[in-house]
Structure 1
Amino acid sequence: MIQSMTGFGKAVCELSNKKIHVEIKSLNSKQLDLNAKMPNLYREKELELRNLIAASLQRGKVELNINVENLTSEKNVQLNEPVITNYYQQLTKLAHQLNDNNNSDYLRIAMSLPDTLKVEQNELDENEWAQIIEHTNMAIEAIQQFRRQEGDSLEADIKRRASKIGELLQQVEPLEKLRVEKIKTRIKDNLNEVIDKSKIDENRFEQELIFYIEKLDISEEKVRLSNHIKYFYETIQEDQPVGKKLGFITQEMGREINTLGSKANDAEMQRIVIQMKDELEKIKEQVLNIL
């Protein structure tokens, strides 16, 4: 089953003294790129959360946000007296040295300088952390559900486009014989314009023509492209992340389509090849977002 790398999941944990919001969102990326934003109280446990998310989401540009809404004050704010005293003494001494008699409010100035307040936070409660883990798992399940829904849409779209490429390939079949006859006639007519027809060695001409037309033969390209399309469908059904694998298959499909175009030597076949390329490019864009 295909999953998208785009998704969003959220869970809210309500404790007696706080409400904790856990949000996870992801976009497409070649590898797992995880950015975590959380209160400093939880930083010591960050690696545990990273491992939990990495094991579940596997790929994508993932952002984890944990926001805490305190219902009661958990912070004990105190004046940092030694620091304030040191600031005040230095300011007073400097004013005396500079003969500053303006009676400036040195205490107010000192209080505006760094580290004049001490904030003491409670220790992380293990029961609280267990709740965060539980709700992180809930957010992961929500984002995975989102990814599966997005994946269903992606799967329907790329299947339709791959099917269209297959249909276009079938349209090449009836053009092949006509193309060969057109090439023969064009070469013969051009040759007759510059060389007297009586001087042309018909056997040699046929040999050279066969050699030239063999270079334009697209039988192998058609078979390989058809096989790639079949493998593309089989891969979609695999019960594992297939985004990278589908990307490799589309590269191979592109090679065969490009070779078809270079060998076409026919306006109608070139038109079909351009349509194939258009569908393939749209598949590639979608595959970039598949897990």
Structure 2
Amino acid sequence: MKSTLASMTGFARADGAHDRWRWNWEVRTVNARGLEWRCRVPSGYEGLDPSLRKALKNKITRGSFNASLTISSSTDAPQYRINEAMLANVLGMIEKLRSDGAYAQPQPEGVLAIRGVVEPMDEALEEKERNDLFADILASFEKAVDDLVNVRRKEGEALAGVLASQLDQIEDFTGKAAALAASTPDAIKSRIEAQLTELLSEGKIPEDRLAQEAALLAVKADIREELDRLASHVEMARSLLQKNAPVGRELDFLTQEFNREANTLCSKAQDMELKRIGLDLKRVIDQLREQVQNVE
């Protein structure tokens, strides 16, 4: 089955036109814990925001999303007007500040530079024409997001291959650890028997106490549970890679469980070869976790 994994990184753009207007959307995403929204539109187009957010949430669930709208008119000399209501509001706030303290009279260019005081004449569009324009801008935004989703899926296909390879390595190291673990009880038994022979010859420690300590040591050195859990985690991760839904958070949690078992294996290792395998496991798991951070 083909993986449906999606990356959280991507870029796309889309152009649009309506009567005398031309515009361009640029959209991009990078890694994030959830869905973060940043959208920059020209003054007067803020009303698009709710529809844009809704369109995005229907397509993408994770990533830091940035969008930018650039719009222009085919009119040779764009016309602007002063938003009288906004200007009156700003001047009222300035007058209140001046009455409360010693503030200098603001310069006209400073007042006109306040966002919303000066706006394009296009703001005076009839309602139907404005709605039609906004609908076309929204449609091109949705196209840009669709293209972005396709880019993220293509990157996700490559990412799925990397993750599958790392899971294969984890499985291979787990198998090697299991082969060594099979001989561990005999090795522990031989070592304890040698120690018992030496200690009992001096009559220092009761035999039953030594038997208890030997049993405890054997239990502490048993890594079969860790190996079983590692194998189970590999199986679960492979299943997630085939899931037709965002699985980044689940994979991130699973890598923490991988790391926990590898740490325990290293702490229980009774010989250098098993410890080396444990360290190799931790290295691959760290690489796996780093890649998982890119998954939606």
Answer yes or no: is 1:211 the counterpart of 2:208.
no
User: Which residue of the partner structure matches residue 266 of structure 2?
Assistant: 261
User: Which residue of the partner structure matches residue 186 of structure 2?
Assistant: 181
Q: TM-score, normalised by structure 2?
A: 0.80
User: Which residue of the partner structure matches residue 61 of structure 2?
Assistant: 58
* Cα distance change, pair 244–268 in 1 and its aligned pair in 2 (3 A): same
Q: Any residues of structure 2 matched to 1:108-257 within 5 Å, and which? A: 114-115=111-112, 119-123=119-123, 125-190=130-195, 196=201, 205-257=210-262
Q: Which moved more, 1:278-287 or 1:9-18?
A: 9-18
Amino acid at match of 2:179: P
Distance in structure 2 (CA, Å) of the matches to 1:135 and 1:223: 51
The secondary structure found in structure 2 opposite 1:13 is strand
* Cα distance change, pair 121–191 in 1 and its aligned pair in 2 (3 A): farther
User: Which residue of the partner structure matches residue 33 of structure 1?
Assistant: 36
Deviations 1:32-76 (A, max 9, x none): 110010011211221211121122111110001001133213423
* Cα distance change, pair 245–113 in 1 and its aligned pair in 2 (3 A): closer
Unaligned runs of 5+ in 1: 84-109
* Cα distance change, pair 151–195 in 1 and its aligned pair in 2 (3 A): same
Distance in structure 2 (CA, Å) of the matches to 1:233 and 1:55: 26
Deviations 1:67-120 (A, max 9, x none): 113321342358x9xx9xxxxxxxxxxxxxxxxxxxxxxxxxx77564399655
Unaligned runs of 5+ in 2: 88-106
| Bigger CA radius of gyration | 1
The secondary structure found in structure 1 opposite 2:268 is helix
User: Which residue of the partner structure matches residue 91 of structure 1?
Assistant: none
Deviations 1:146-179 (A, max 9, x none): 0001101111001110111001111112212443
* Cα distance change, pair 31–211 in 1 and its aligned pair in 2 (3 A): same
Distance in structure 1 (CA, Å) of the matches to 2:233 and 2:108: 72
Q: TM-score, normalised by structure 1?
A: 0.81
The secondary structure found in structure 2 opposite 1:40 is coil
Deviations 1:250-275 (A, max 9, x none): 11122111111111121001111111
Answer yes or no: is 1:49 the counterpart of 2:52.
yes
* Cα distance change, pair 233–111 in 1 and its aligned pair in 2 (3 A): closer
Distance in structure 2 (CA, Å) of the matches to 1:118 and 1:60: 34
For residue 79 of structure 2, the aligned residue among 65, 75, 80 is: 75
Answer yes or no: is 1:272 the counterpart of 2:252.
no
Distance in structure 2 (CA, Å) of the matches to 1:236 and 1:171: 24
Contact 2:5–2:160 (CA under 8 A) maintained in structure 1: yes
Contact 2:81–2:121 (CA under 8 A) maintained in structure 1: no
The secondary structure found in structure 1 opposite 2:234 is helix
Q: Which moved more, 1:233-242 or 1:51-60?
A: 51-60
Contact 2:181–2:224 (CA under 8 A) maintained in structure 1: no
Q: RMSD of the alignment, in Å? A: 2.7
Q: Which moved more, 1:230-239 or 1:114-123?
A: 114-123
Amino acid at match of 1:59: R
* Cα distance change, pair 248–118 in 1 and its aligned pair in 2 (3 A): closer
